[in-house]
Amino acid sequence: MDVSHLLDDLNKPQREAVSAATTPTLVLAGAGSGKTRVLVHRIAWLIQVEQFSPFSILAVTFTNKAAAEMRARIEQLLGTPMGGMWVGTFHSLSHRLLRRHWQEAGLPQLFQIIDSDDQLRLVKRVSRNLGLEEANWPARQSQWFINARKDNGERPEHIEDKGDPQTSQLRAIYEAYEAACKQAGVVDFAELLLRSLELLRDNPELLAQYRQRFRHLLVDEFQDTNTLQYGWLRLIAGDTTPPFAVGDDDQSIYGWRGAKIENIQNFSKDFHSTNIIRLEQNYRSSGNILEAANALIDNNQGRLGKNLWTDSGQGELIHLYAAHDENDEARYVTSRIRQWVEQGNNHQECAILYRSNAQSRVFESQLIEAGIPYRVYGGQRFFERAEIKDALAYLRLSANRHDDPSFDRVINQPPRGIGDKTVSVIRDHARDSGTSLWQAATALLEMNHFTARASNAITGFTQLIADISIDISGLPLEEQVDKTIRASQLKQHYLHKEKGDKGEARVENLNELVSAAQGFIYKPEDEHANMDFLSAFLSHASLEAGDSQTKAGNDCAQLMTLHSAKGLEFPLVFLVGLEEGLFPSQQSSEELNRMEEERRLCYVGITRAEKQLVISYAEQRRLYGTTHYGVPSRFIHEIPDRLVEPVRPKPSRPSWSASGYNTPTTSHIKQDTGGLSIGQSVSHKKFGNGIITDTEGSGSHARVQVNFEDAGSKWLVLTYANLSPL
């Protein structure tokens, strides 16, 4: 049989993977190594060469888009429709199983699937039925708890509270939620996978039937599987269906949402006689970029091991820009994008990658000022984010009580017991009397129109706005913003409402709004003439939010988080904000596993670049409302000097250990440090003993960085530090 069309366009390891024997196989597919091509050709090989029926193949992907693309490419390669083959996501395949076997699964025949919003509403209802206040038991937190437990394969009866009243109450909510779903005949997304696993596990004859049918099990992005997904795969595979898994342990970056890197690391232990094939030839990036990525990721422990390479040449060196501050960083990136376009390239070939969404604000401002079209990929622009709109609404209402949109937005945000019915009464009265919502609310209060509970809630709200207005009067702009955010309790609200990273990201954005206020420049000669500072800032925010970003598909620069960038590629990539405490994040420095995931995230960022990679950090950064003196990220120090071309001279490179700086091998005295030297042991009254690792500044601004044994690395101003040499 002529199989040239299946193998000729592949390199040697790809051909090995496509034509592998039917034993457990793990394909370690490095970034840009053609993993999708291997999966498609493997399925085509099984059908055309090994003569397996499409009905005997089960292929699992992580997105519907990837599943559709895989099916289309297989059909194109074989020239025939593949209608009988099961290709889909974990959820879509589980749904297919449950529709076929609804009775065995204990579901009504016409069960419905509820999305995240519908699930949240149902959680709110069962919480109210249990007599729980939203303020004390936020529905989103309960929703997160339920989904996390399901993803771990746990029903309420499997959860041990160990005497913890919070866990006990959340378990009760989970139990009531399950009963409500059963009564309504609905399932959520997490339930699809858990219920289908239970269906097969608890029906041995049915499981045997599917094991007999599916002789080949192929899995994409295997490093992203969670506990439940891996259990589902192992159950179907059994001892009869050897899995063919494609993944990359170096690109496992979703631990925060349940992905277990241990699944791919333990694959060869769980499936004996595993054939491991490494795809290391990269078809995306230049040699220098790949060498940098290899050197960086080599610092992680427990890797399965591979080394990316290319035959396309070394390409340009990596540019490293040491910015004075975040504005200087954004200006430099903007100038490089303009230069790129002037050379005949497109805006859409440029991507700015950052660790936190809050970092986008400064870049957005500079791009708008420069007239460069851009798009925030997979997210909203800074001033369009819900938490920012909430904070600005409080500020606007404190400045102008008759601002009806702002009143409408925050009268019950955060929730304060003012229901929709009460708000409707206020709206109706405002319409009928021709007054503002504020005037209508105060008039109805004077008329004793509301119940005692509603009256107290509305009075509390109006008093809050009045207090904010008085408290912030005459303060610097950033203090006005900061005090308003604190008084509104928006941070606490979002931390309770959206558990985990989402809530923390919203708090980071609120803190960044304080930074935006501090960096706001008031120009009386422009459109802000005759305005006070706060009004000018609010107008500025409205204009930036109203100047909508470029639509998808148009030629525009791309802004995105590193997590959003996975799977994408760009000729020119800016990897920004590489400072200790920002990237890697401060939280990750306390735990090896989290630090290694941060390093994998940096690896993903580096390998998005095709031709040019620019890395930047700021010596001083105003972020989340606080000024930080930047220490270059350890990830910069892990890239060999020979691969880097500094745009501005970078500081000397200290060596790193898993916990931070090691003592430098050389010690020298710097000026204006009171006789203290790098490498010297010192003591501080609050932080204890530590070692000086760096110094900067002079005179009264001289600072030292000390790596304390207990408190970690800190920058201290020498004038106030009172360090004692040991």
Q: Looking at residue 159, which CATH number applies to its domain? A: 1.10.10.160
Instruction: Point out the catalytic residue in the list 16, 36, 118, 384.
Output: 36
Instruction: Point out the catalytic residue in the list 154, 220, 250, 478.
Output: 220
Q: How far is CA 251 from CA 222, 275, 297, 601, 614, in A?
A: 10, 20, 10, 7, 20
Q: Can you name the residues that pair with 60 across neighbouring β-strands?
A: 88, 219
Q: Is 608 annotated in the active site?
A: yes
Quick one: 543 and 642 in the same domain?
no
Q: Is 73 annotated in the active site?
A: no
Spatial separation of the C-alpha atoms in residues 350 and 367, rounded to whole Å: 12
User: Which residue range is the domain that position 171 belongs to?
Assistant: 112-184
The response to whether 605 counts as a known ligand-binding position is no
In a domain, 667, yes or no: no
pLDDT at 525: 45
Q: Which two tokens stand for residue 276?
A: 């491991």
Quick one: 415 and 360 in the same domain?
no
From 245-249, 351-355, 387-391, 657-661, the region with the lowest mean pLDDT: 657-661
Which pTM value belongs to this model?
0.73
Spatial separation of the C-alpha atoms in residues 586 and 623, rounded to whole Å: 13
The CATH number of the domain where 335 resides is what? 3.40.50.300
Quick one: 442 and 542 in the same domain?
yes
The response to whether 371 counts as a known ligand-binding position is no
The CATH number of the domain where 541 resides is what? 1.10.486.10
Amino acid identity of residue 455, one-letter, is S
Spatial separation of the C-alpha atoms in residues 313 and 13, rounded to whole Å: 20
Amino acid identity of residue 505, one-letter, is A
Q: Which of 506, 525, 547 is the last residue of a domain?
A: 547
Instruction: Point out the catalytic residue in the list 151, 188, 191, 221.
Output: 221
In a domain, 288, yes or no: no
Q: Is 220 annotated in the active site?
A: yes
Q: Is 413 annotated in the active site?
A: no
The response to whether 88 counts as a known ligand-binding position is no
Whether the pLDDT of residue 171 is over 80: the answer is yes
In a domain, 661, yes or no: no
Quick one: 579 and 495 in the same domain?
no
Spatial separation of the C-alpha atoms in residues 200 and 209, rounded to whole Å: 10
Q: Which of 624, 646, 668 is the last residue of a domain?
A: 646
Q: Which two tokens stand for residue 509?
A: 């954005």
In a domain, 514, yes or no: yes
Q: In sequence order, what are the residues at sequence separation of 6 or more whose Cβ sits closer than 8 angstroms to the Cβ of residue 716?
A: 684, 703, 704, 705, 706, 723
Over residues 686-701, mean pLDDT: 71
Alpha-helix residue ranges (DSSP H) falling in 185-286? 189-201, 204-213, 227-237, 261-265, 267-270
Give every strand in the sheet of 25-29, ordered side by side: 86-89, 57-61, 216-219, 243-247, 25-29, 275-279
Quick one: 600 and 543 in the same domain?
no
Over residues 136-157, mean pLDDT: 92
Amino acid identity of residue 219, one-letter, is V
The DSSP secondary-structure symbol of 662 reads P
Q: Is 251 annotated in the active site?
A: yes
Q: Which of 604, 631, 646 is the last residue of a domain?
A: 646
- Respond yes or no on whether the N-terminal peptide bond of residue 415 is cis (omega within 30° of 0): no
CB environment 242-264: b (16+ within 10 A), e (fewer): bbbbbbbbbbbbbbeebbbbebb
- Please state, rounded to an integer, the average pLDDT across all residues of the chain: 87
Instruction: Point out the catalytic residue in the list 14, 15, 35, 561.
Output: 35
The response to whether 35 counts as a known ligand-binding position is yes
In a domain, 297, yes or no: no
Spatial separation of the C-alpha atoms in residues 236 and 609, rounded to whole Å: 38
Quick one: 453 and 499 in the same domain?
yes
Amino acid identity of residue 172, one-letter, is A
In a domain, 562, yes or no: yes
From 1-5, 426-430, 685-689, the region with the lowest mean pLDDT: 1-5
Quick one: 225 and 267 in the same domain?
yes
pLDDT at 698: 59
pLDDT at 649: 52
Whether the pLDDT of residue 65 is over 90: the answer is no
Q: In sequence order, what are the residues at sequence separation of 6 or more whose Cβ sits closer than 8 angstroms to the Cβ of residue 385?
A: 357, 506, 509
The H-or-E segment that residue 315 falls in is none
Over residues 282-303, mean pLDDT: 96
For residue 330, the tally of other CB atoms under 10 A from its CB is 27
Q: At what angle do helices 386-399 and 452-472 cross, to 10 degrees?
A: 80
The response to whether 305 counts as a known ligand-binding position is no
Q: What are phi and psi of 627, to 5 degrees?
A: -90, 130
Spatial separation of the C-alpha atoms in residues 575 and 594, rounded to whole Å: 20
pLDDT digits (tens, 9 = 90+) for 92-119: 899 889 999 999 999 988 888 888 878 8
When comparing pLDDT for 615 and 365, which is higher? 615
Alpha-helix residue ranges (DSSP H) falling in 344-476? 360-370, 386-399, 404-410, 420-433, 437-446, 452-472
Q: How far is CA 393 from CA 229, 267, 403, in A?
A: 43, 52, 9
CA-wise closest residue to 228 among 269, 192, 175, 268:
192
Q: How far is CA 472 from CA 192, 482, 637, in A?
A: 51, 9, 44
For residue 645, the tally of other CB atoms under 10 A from its CB is 12
Spatial separation of the C-alpha atoms in residues 509 and 360, rounded to whole Å: 10
Quick one: 520 and 575 in the same domain?
no
The response to whether 32 counts as a known ligand-binding position is yes
pLDDT digits (tens, 9 = 90+) for 522-568: 655 444 445 678 887 887 776 565 545 566 668 999 999 999 999 89
Number of domains observed in the structure of the chain: 5
Q: Can you name the residues that pair with 679 across neighbouring β-strands?
A: none
Quick one: 67 and 13 in the same domain?
yes
Spatial separation of the C-alpha atoms in residues 662 and 634, rounded to whole Å: 12
pLDDT at 523: 55
Instruction: Point out the catalytic residue in the list 331, 361, 381, 608.
Output: 608
Quick one: 129 and 54 in the same domain?
no
For residue 143, the tally of other CB atoms under 10 A from its CB is 23
Whether the pLDDT of residue 278 is over 70: the answer is yes
Q: Can you name the residues that pair with 706 across neighbouring β-strands?
A: 692, 714
Spatial separation of the C-alpha atoms in residues 483 and 198, rounded to whole Å: 51
pLDDT at 551: 62
Quick one: 508 and 603 in the same domain?
no
Quick one: 204 and 81 in the same domain?
yes
First vs last C-alpha separation in the chain: 79
Q: Which of 378-382, 500-504, 579-583 has the highest mean pLDDT?
A: 579-583
Instruction: Point out the catalytic residue in the list 61, 119, 241, 251.
Output: 251
In a domain, 467, yes or no: yes
Spatial separation of the C-alpha atoms in residues 139 and 173, rounded to whole Å: 10
Q: Beta-strand (E) ranges in 442-567?
A: 557-561
pLDDT digits (tens, 9 = 90+) for 437-456: 999 999 999 998 989 999 99
Question: 52 near 46, Cβ under 8 Å?
Answer: yes
Residue with tokens 């035959």: 311
pLDDT digits (tens, 9 = 90+) for 659-673: 343 333 333 333 445
pLDDT at 303: 94
pLDDT at 701: 57
- Respond yes or no on whether the N-terminal peptide bond of residue 584 is cis (omega within 30° of 0): yes
Q: Is 670 annotated in the active site?
A: no
Question: 349 near 570, Cβ under 8 Å?
Answer: yes
Residue 192 pLDDT class (50, 70, 90 cuts): very high
In a domain, 295, yes or no: no
